[in-house]
């Protein structure tokens, strides 16, 4: 299968005044993936997304959406994109169906198609029975309507800017389920700083730190970066833990009867050997899977 | 065309549902009725006050009112209607920038010039209908109470004021492309009017500035020639076209 990139960002930089927000940013989003764009607040996620939509001018570099160059302002490549802003705002005097029908007609659909598609999408996001105007909508309902409007033009790329950040756990789950369900038809790029969301639905991630990509790859690749590095040992007695700490250099005691070690090149068998030689029995010996949080903190702190 | 129609439909729906259109209908109708009403009431008011005025030494003779009195009132009231109109529409672009509502439609592929032209057309159409309503009501009452034929060039004078309104609407559009708040748009409108008024103080150019059209009611008595206003009308129309083109060019590159 040929791997087609729906979004290609190459050597993009952007400054606001003297503040350089994006520094020589390069990454690609392959088709039919759910791409998590992770970074702290202020890392440049929204700026990057707005540049991909032609809403902000990039100082240098090139952005391609479906192999079409993105231009600032009047951007023809937008026809491939559905966009959900971080705080989606709508015309509050309209009903959700009226709003979606308008979006559909703007995207070039005729009245009947727009009507049908808007009902389908309202059902998908769970707003099918809502008749009231958008004015009275809750944050979660706005977010769901936001996804519906972003999908109205059947985009090849769905860009969501922190779609779950301000929602309660139920609302977050609903939004993530919707994003997961549209994966078949569209590529999803979503920015977030909530790592559990990334682990739940993404198959690729890029960590953005201080305006450039610090880590990029599939979820497994990224976890693999630090695999087999740390081992956690739980002892039956705290004395054993203390004794082992004295024997093993660079051992960190995390709890009374628990230590974490980084054996480096020595591997797990060397640790077992040492335990056997010193006749220390253990309750549990575990290769630690690095969590995304660990990786994120490592990226941020370095 | 489909895009333009869909967005324009939204604009009209907005004016209806936010009550803006209702306010304007009431105002234009009210002013339309007030013009002949004030003229009709003038002799009665004068009579009421004549005793007080007589005490202070002023003698009141019978006041004659006719269609001219009512039309003079029309040209006094219309600027007020225009100001209310401009205040109501001062946020037509800026509210959308502040809320970010245009981002959704632009990222759906709506051409920016269509947004601009749609908004400006809706404003101009409402202004046109408003002026026609106010003019029609005043004209009707005047014809009923008095005789409109004693007044000269009344339609042309009204058209001059109407065109002046169109020019300010186009200034509102231009200002909205640069400004991000309704307040600054109003300031820009004030500045544009001020500039036109100040230029009008110079005899060499006074017949060419838009605000010269505000003196068109001088035509009512028939002592001034309609041709005097021709240059001002032509320049104003050219300004509207140029301002609109320039606005669209800037709007195409605006950060929304």
Q: So what's the ipTM on this one?
A: 0.85
Q: CA–CA separation, A278 vs A164, rounded Å?
A: 51
Instruction: Summarize pLDDT for B10-27 with one digit per residue, the tens.
Output: 999 999 999 999 999 999
User: Looking at residue B139, what is its pLDDT?
Assistant: 93
The verdict on A65 touching B (C-beta cutoff 8 Å) is: no
User: Looking at residue A163, what is its pLDDT?
Assistant: 87
Q: CA–CA separation, A85 vs A150, rounded Å?
A: 9
Best A70, A105, A147 residue to mutate vs chain B (most B CBs within 10 Å): A105
Q: Residue A136 carries which DSSP code?
A: G
Percentage, residues of chain B above pLDDT 90: 60
- Beta-sheet strands, E only, within chain A: 5-16, 19-30, 34-39, 60-65, 68-69, 81-84, 157-161, 187-192, 204-209, 212-218, 231-235, 252-255, 258-261, 282-287
Higher pLDDT, A243 or B219: A243
Q: At residue A1, does pLDDT exceed 50?
A: no
The verdict on A86 touching B (C-beta cutoff 8 Å) is: no
Q: Give the contacts of B55 (CB within 8 A, at least 6 positions apart).
A: none
The verdict on A73 touching B (C-beta cutoff 8 Å) is: yes
CA distance B103 to chain A (A): 8
Q: CA–CA separation, A177 vs A157, rounded Å?
A: 17
Percentage, residues of chain A above pLDDT 70: 95
User: Looking at residue A267, what is its pLDDT?
Assistant: 75
Task: Report the candidate in B248, B255, B256 with the shortest Cα–Cα distance to residue B116.
Answer: B248
Q: CA–CA separation, A96 vs A99, rounded Å?
A: 5
The verdict on B1 touching A (C-beta cutoff 8 Å) is: no
The verdict on B227 touching A (C-beta cutoff 8 Å) is: no
Structure tokens at A91: 């015309």
User: Looking at residue B207, what is its pLDDT?
Assistant: 86
- Looking at chain A, which residue has its C-alpha nearest residue B115? A106
Q: At residue A96, does pLDDT exceed 90?
A: yes
Q: CA–CA separation, B249 vs B256, rounded Å?
A: 14
Vertex A59: Cα angle to A56 and A62 (nearest 5): 85
Q: Report yes or no: A4 and A156 within 8 Å, Cβ to Cβ.
A: no
Q: Stretch B142-151: mean pLDDT, rounded?
A: 86
User: Looking at residue B94, what is its pLDDT?
Assistant: 95
Rounded to two decimals, what is the model's pTM? 0.81
User: Looking at residue B173, what is its pLDDT?
Assistant: 96
Q: CA–CA separation, B241 vs B167, rounded Å?
A: 9
Q: Is A5 helix (H, G, I), strand (E, B) or coil?
A: strand
The verdict on B249 touching A (C-beta cutoff 8 Å) is: no
User: Looking at residue A302, what is its pLDDT?
Assistant: 64
Identify all chain B residues contacting A87, using CB atoms and an 8 Å cutoff. 100
Asked if A107's CB is within 8 angstroms of B108's CB, the reply is yes
Instruction: Summarize pLDDT for A123-158 with one digit per residue, the tens.
Output: 988 888 888 999 989 888 898 899 899 999 889 999
Edge-to-edge strand order for the sheet containing A68-69? Answer: A19-30, A5-16, A60-65, A68-69
Q: CA–CA separation, A99 vs A50, rounded Å?
A: 22
Asked if B253's CB is within 8 angstroms of A73's CB, the reply is yes
Asked if A98's CB is within 8 angstroms of B111's CB, the reply is no
The verdict on A178 touching B (C-beta cutoff 8 Å) is: no
Q: Is B256 helix (H, G, I), strand (E, B) or coil?
A: coil
Higher pLDDT, B236 or A254: B236
Q: CA–CA separation, B73 vs B39, rounded Å?
A: 7
Q: At residue B58, does pLDDT exceed 80?
A: no
A173, HSE (Cβ side, Cα atoms, 13 Å): 2
The verdict on B116 touching A (C-beta cutoff 8 Å) is: no
Structure tokens at B223: 């002592």
Higher pLDDT, A228 or B240: B240
Tokens 């769901």, residue?
A: A144
Best A77, A93, A106, A153 residue to mutate vs chain B (most B CBs within 10 Å): A106
* Mean pLDDT taken over chain B: 90
Q: Give the contacts of A267 (CB within 8 A, at least 6 positions apart).
A: A228
CA distance B100 to chain A (A): 6
Task: Report the candidate in A173, A103, A102, A164 with the shortest Cα–Cα distance to residue A139.
Answer: A164
Q: CA–CA separation, A63 vs A56, rounded Å?
A: 12
Q: At residue A218, does pLDDT exceed 80?
A: yes
Grade residue B135 by pLDDT with cuts at 50, 70 and 90. Answer: very high
Grade residue B191 by pLDDT with cuts at 50, 70 and 90. Answer: very high
Q: Would you give the end-to-end CA distance of chain B in angstroms?
A: 23
């Amino acid at each position: 299968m040929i791997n087609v990139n729906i979004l290609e960002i190459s050597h993009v930089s952007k400054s606001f005044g003297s503040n350089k927000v994006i520094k020589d940013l390069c990454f690609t989003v392959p088709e039919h993936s759910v791409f998590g764009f992770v970074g702290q607040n202020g890392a440049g996620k929204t700026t990057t997304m707005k540049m991909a939509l032609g809403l902000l001018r990039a100082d240098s570099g090139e952005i391609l959406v479906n192999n079409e160059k993105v231009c600032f302002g009047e951007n023809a490549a937008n026809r491939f994109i559905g966009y959900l802003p971080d705080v989606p705002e709508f015309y509050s005097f309209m009903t959700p169906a009226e709003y979606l029908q308008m979006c559909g007609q703007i995207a070039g659909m005729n009245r009947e198609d727009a009507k049908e598609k808007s009902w389908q999408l309202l059902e998908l996001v769970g707003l099918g029975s809502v008749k009231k105007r958008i004015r009275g909508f809750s944050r979660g309902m706005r977010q769901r309507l936001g996804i519906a409007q972003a999908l109205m033009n059947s985009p090849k790329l769905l860009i969501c800017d922190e779609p779950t950040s301000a929602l309660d756990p139920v609302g977050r789950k609903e939004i993530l389920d919707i994003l997961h369900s549209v994966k078949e038809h569209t590529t999803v790029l979503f920015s977030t700083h909530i790592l559990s969301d990334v682990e739940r639905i993404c198959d690729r991630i890029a960590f953005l730190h201080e305006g450039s990509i610090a880590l990029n790859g599939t979820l497994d690749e990224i976890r693999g970066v630090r695999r087999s590095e740390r081992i956690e040992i739980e002892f039956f007695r705290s004395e054993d833990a203390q004794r082992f700490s004295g024997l093993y250099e660079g051992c960190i005691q995390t709890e009374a009867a628990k230590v974490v070690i980084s054996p480096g090149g020595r591997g797990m068998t060397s640790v077992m050997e040492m335990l056997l030689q010193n006749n220390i029995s253990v309750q549990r010996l575990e290769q630690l899977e690095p969590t995304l949080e660990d990786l994120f903190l490592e990226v941020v702190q370095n | 065309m489909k895009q333009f129609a869909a967005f324009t439909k939204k604009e009209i729906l907005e004016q209806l549902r936010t009550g803006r259109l209702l306010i304007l209908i009431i105002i234009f109708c009210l002013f339309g009725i007030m013009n002949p009403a004030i003229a009709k009431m003038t002799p009665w008011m004068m009579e009421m006050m004549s005793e007080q005025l007589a005490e202070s030494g002023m003698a009141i003779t019978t006041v004659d009112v006719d269609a001219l009195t009512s039309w003079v009132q029309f040209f006094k009231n219309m600027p007020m209607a225009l100001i209310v109109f401009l205040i109501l529409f001062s946020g037509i672009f800026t509210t959308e920038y502040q809320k970010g509502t245009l981002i959704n439609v632009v990222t759906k592929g709506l051409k920016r010039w269509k947004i601009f032209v749609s908004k400006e057309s809706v404003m101009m159409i409402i202004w046109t209908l408003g002026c026609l309503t106010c003019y029609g009501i005043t004209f009707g009452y005047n014809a009923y109470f008095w005789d409109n034929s004693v007044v000269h060039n009344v339609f042309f004078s009204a058209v001059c004021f109407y065109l002046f309104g169109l020019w300010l609407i186009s200034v509102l559009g231009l200002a909205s492309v640069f400004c991000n708040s309704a307040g600054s748009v109003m300031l820009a409108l004030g500045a544009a009017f001020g500039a036109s008024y100040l230029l009008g103080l110079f005899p060499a150019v006074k017949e060419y500035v838009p605000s010269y059209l505000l003196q068109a009611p001088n035509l009512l008595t028939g002592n001034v020639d309609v041709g005097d206003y021709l240059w001002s009308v032509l320049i104003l129309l050219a300004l509207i076209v140029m301002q609109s083109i320039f606005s669209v060019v800037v709007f195409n590159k605006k950060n929304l």
